[in-house]
Amino acid sequence: MESEMAAAEESRVVVDAEVAARLVKGLREAFVARKTRSYEWRVSQLKSILKMAEDHEQDIADALRSDLAKPELESVVYEVAMLKSACTMAIKKLKHWMTPEKVKTSITAFPSSAEIVPEPLGVVLVISPWNYPFLLSLEPVVGAIAAGNAVVLKPSEISPATSSLLGKLITEYMDNSLVKVVEGAVAETSALLEQKWDKICYTGNGRVGRIVMAAAAKHLTPVLLELGGKSPVVVDSGINLQVATRRIIAGKWACNNGQTCVAADYIITTKDYAPKLLDSLKHELEKFYGKNPLESKDLSRIVNSNHFARLTKLLDEDKVSGKIVHGGERDKSNLRIAPTILLDVPRDSVIMNEEIFGPLLPIVTVEKVEDSVDIINSGTKPLAAYLFTNNKKLKEHFVMAVSAGGMIVNDTIIHLAVDTLPFGGVQESGMGSYHGKFSFDAFSHKKAVLYRGFAGDVPVRYPPYTKGKLRLVKALISGSILGAIFALFGWSKN
């Protein structure tokens, strides 16, 4: 495996603007030849992705361990199985998705019929991040291929083992005249962004999201931006606390040690309930990760020293460091930070104003649980919002009053696995969505097609525009059948 990666590294092409332009030109020529239009090509490519994931599950888990020390169970569930499920669904539903949708027409176009014909956008660019580097690279590619596009994938340089594996596997398994990988860092991504694409799907932080959108604007290219944010978890009293606690931990530390876009970023609960919740979190965390979590094989490490430094800086801020009520241990040489809980950190601290994206979890306390809505709404719109409650009124109020990419009542993160739900952010947490059929739609243009014959040609739409025609048009617009009849016969109603 290591020697294969070294070979892949050696054969890496340096992509500058000129190489990128040639690459896009080649793909565009291949796309114009209409090979991607056929159902057969799309299904064969989707099956290749599925086979690739099946054949190389162990290599994928190894690469993820090398990049993030990701526990194998998390790699299998959150990266490989979710990709396989997206592929299987696309293969199963593709014929249906590709079929034009018949729609009703209006009286204005009578007689006629109409349909919405999905067509591929063309050549699309997928830029992916390091935290779920396998899934978040290939899941958008599944949508792009299902919709019949040519694709360039640019995986993240921050997860180099997975990037290199993707480069190798896509070359081996996919139709390389239409599906390509470009490895590299900012220079390569910038060279790619200079080109004209028909859609760019970017998953990552909002700062680079703005760079992507500005580059896309030069060519009027549409973007799908899958960004992050501070996803809150509101915990009410009177709940099954053990189940709630376990579900919070499952969506935070048991998901890449908090390095997940939809992980709980902070908890809001009442002053009265906070001690109970804290005890429960401590208790369950110890059961899951033992007394020395820095040694646990079931926790990912921090991806690199930059992110380690960023996270420890959040903890070391003067007004924050004294607020740690659990954890706080760190091991710089192994890039490990233990699950850490903070209580009542000041709202103007950096940890309460930036996406944490790591194993730190502040708890904010309020007098009444209803106050949580104002706290959430005072920030930017999150990618996800979670509420644990048995109170029906609170549930309804939360769903109506909080704006977020998605939300779950009484669990965390698993909405991502429900492929009938769109996955995406709103405002600062992103634009557009994908998953399931939404992935096909995200990479398709919905072409409106109206069919007419030569019968029923209405003279009223042609000049000369007489007074009689004007009366008829007005009568038709106002829906007056009597007026229309009068106008047709040249009579005046007055």
Contact residues for ligand NAD, defined by CB under 6 A: 127-131, 136, 154, 156-158, 185-186, 189-190, 203-205, 208, 211, 226-228, 261, 355, 357, 383, 425, 430
* Shortest Å, Cβ 419 to ligand NAD: 15
Task: Report CA-CA distances (Å) from 58 to 73, 109, 160.
Answer: 11, 58, 17
The length of the chain, given as a count of residues: 494
| Cα atoms found within 13 Å of the Cα of residue 166, Cβ hemisphere only | 32
Cα Rg of the chain (Å, integer):
27
**Residue with smaller CB distance to ligand NAD, 327 or 422:** 422
**Residue with smaller CB distance to ligand NAD, 118 or 405:** 405
Task: Write down the H helix ranges in 383-478.
Answer: 392-401, 437-442, 467-478
Task: Report CA-CA distances (Å) from 288 to 76, 91, 245, 256, 343.
Answer: 19, 37, 12, 14, 21
Compute φ and ψ for 443, nearest 5 degrees: -110, 15
**Residue with smaller CB distance to ligand NAD, 277 or 360:** 360
For the record, the structure tokens of 146 come out as 């299902």
* Shortest Å, Cβ 80 to ligand NAD: 17
**Residue with smaller CB distance to ligand NAD, 105 or 190:** 190
Q: In a 3-state reduction of DSSP, which class is residue 385? A: strand
Q: Which of 403, 412, 410 is nearest to 430 (CA)?
A: 403
**Residue with smaller CB distance to ligand NAD, 216 or 366:** 216
Separation of alpha carbons 119 and 448, rounded Å: 10
* Shortest Å, Cβ 445 to ligand NAD: 23
Q: Is 255 a catalytic residue?
A: no
What is residue 177's DSSP assignment?
Answer: T
User: Which residue in the list 74, 201, 261, 355 is annotated as catalytic?
Assistant: 261
Q: Residue number with the shortest CB distance to ligand NAD? A: 228
* Shortest Å, Cβ 197 to ligand NAD: 13
* Shortest Å, Cβ 273 to ligand NAD: 28
CB of 45 closer than 8 Å to CB of 101? no
* Shortest Å, Cβ 462 to ligand NAD: 52
For the record, the structure tokens of 8 come out as 């892949």
CB of 149 closer than 8 Å to CB of 443? yes
**Residue with smaller CB distance to ligand NAD, 139 or 236:** 139
| Cα atoms found within 13 Å of the Cα of residue 290, Cβ hemisphere only | 8
Q: Is 261 a catalytic residue?
A: yes
What is residue 196's DSSP assignment?
Answer: -
**Residue with smaller CB distance to ligand NAD, 30 or 212:** 212
Q: In a 3-state reduction of DSSP, which class is residue 473? A: helix
Within the chain, what is the greatest distance between any pair of CA atoms?
93
* Shortest Å, Cβ 41 to ligand NAD: 27
CB of 380 closer than 8 Å to CB of 229? yes
Residue type present at position 381: K
User: Which residue in the list 139, 226, 355, 428 is annotated as catalytic?
Assistant: 226
**Residue with smaller CB distance to ligand NAD, 189 or 269:** 189
* Shortest Å, Cβ 353 to ligand NAD: 14
Beta pairing class for 340-343 and 223-226:
unpaired
Q: Which residues contact 489 (CB under 8 A, 6 or more apart)?
A: none
For the record, the structure tokens of 296 come out as 């646990």
Starting at the earlier edge strand, list the strands of the sheet with 232-235: 324-326, 340-343, 360-366, 266-270, 232-235, 384-388, 406-409
Residues designated as active site: 226, 261
